[in-house]
Amino acid sequence: MKWYQKIVVGISGLMILSSLSYAEHIWVGLYAKGTKMTAQSLVSREYLGDMSDAIETEWRKGFFLVDLEHGRRTWMGVFAKGTGYTAQSYLHSSNWSKFAKSAEKKKAQGYDLIDLEYGDAEWVGIFAKGTGFKDQVIVADREWKVFRQTIKSYWKKGYALTEVEAGGGHWVGLFAKNTEYKDQSYVSLDDWSAMRRLIRDRWDDGYQVTKLEYGEGRWFALFDKNIRWSEEAYSSTYGWERFRLTLKKYWKKDFDIIGIASGWND
């Protein structure tokens, strides 16, 4: 496990690291400078039960889980201090309906669902208090074209899209009000190379990437024009061990990890 104390540096720029040449599974990291986080740690485990134990260990150290990802028989959690969260909880279920009902109970206890991951046929939800969200809504659709209309509908109602996860035949969106998002847009493609080009185009248009996800054969990138970080970058890497080395390089350059995705370079 790696953890560090962040040094704030106010430099703007764009960095891209890529090692792609043919179709294969890849790990994608999303990084930023100028976040509110003060320290981070990274934990990986093969099995969800072992990851659950690791989450509780990090909680005892004062870290909160900010991103959970599964890919190629690996569960990976990114933890941080300085998140503003006051409490955290998680739950998992192989049945979406049961998961959704349990999530509503968590919301009734004052928690918001901040991260959702599907892996090993399990839905895993990470909840937190202290998000500042209001009126959070969880929506699941069976078809991508229906989910696109769902996003459009909630944007019109004044909601922001805070999380997307696809798996088990579902597209799931987390929507909330009173977030930091101001002007959102998204792109979803089945080709990673095309997604990389579109990310560069959106950067040129003044957007930042707030979420990168992969599921049901598609890459999904969520953007926002409310500039939150002084610098943003991403990496795309073959192999878990090489990806760990890449993450450490960005830490040494004073970037925080703000998201991890696992998918295919088609």
What is the tens place of the pLDDT at every residue in 132-176? Answer: 999 999 999 999 999 999 999 999 999 999 999 999 999 999 999
On average, the pLDDT of the chain sits at 91
User: So what's the pLDDT on residue 23?
Assistant: 61
Stretch 249-262: mean pLDDT? 97
Stretch 72-100: mean pLDDT? 97
Q: Is residue 32 within 8 Å of 10, Cβ to Cβ?
A: no
- Residue 7 pLDDT greater than 50, yes or no: no
What is the tens place of the pLDDT at every residue in 44-69? Answer: 999 999 999 999 999 999 999 999 99
User: So what's the pLDDT on residue 227?
Assistant: 85
CA distances from 89 to 49, 83, 103 (A): 15, 15, 11
3-class DSSP state of 109: coil
Which of residues 13 and 92 earns the better pLDDT score?
92
Report H helices in 157-229: 192-204
- Residue 102 pLDDT greater than 50, yes or no: yes
- Residue 107 pLDDT greater than 70, yes or no: yes
Which of residues 66 and 11 earns the better pLDDT score?
66
What is the tens place of the pLDDT at every residue in 192-230? Answer: 999 999 999 999 999 999 999 999 999 999 999 988 899
Give the pLDDT band of residue 84 (cuts 50, 70, 90).
Answer: very high
Percent of the chain past pLDDT 70, that is, above it, reads: 91
CA separation for the pair 35, 258 (Å, rounded): 9
- For residue 220, give the nearest of 181, 176, 168, 259 by alpha carbon: 259
Q: What residue type is assigned to position 22 of the chain?
A: Y
Residues 6+ away with beta carbon under 8 Å from 10: 34, 230
Centre a 10 Å sphere on the Cβ of residue 217 and count the other Cβ atoms it contains. 11
CA separation for the pair 105, 129 (Å, rounded): 14
- Residue 190 pLDDT greater than 80, yes or no: yes
Give the pLDDT band of residue 266 (cuts 50, 70, 90).
Answer: confident
- Residue 13 pLDDT greater than 60, yes or no: no
Q: Parallel, antiparallel, or unpaired for β 14-18 and 231-237?
A: parallel
Percent of the chain past pLDDT 90, that is, above it, reads: 88
Residues 6+ away with beta carbon under 8 Å from 63: 3, 39, 40, 41, 79, 80, 81
CA separation for the pair 120, 105 (Å, rounded): 24
What is the tens place of the pLDDT at every residue in 222-252? Answer: 999 988 899 999 999 999 899 999 999 999 9
- Residue 255 pLDDT greater than 50, yes or no: yes
Stretch 86-97: mean pLDDT? 98
- For residue 163, give the nearest of 148, 152, 177, 174 by alpha carbon: 174
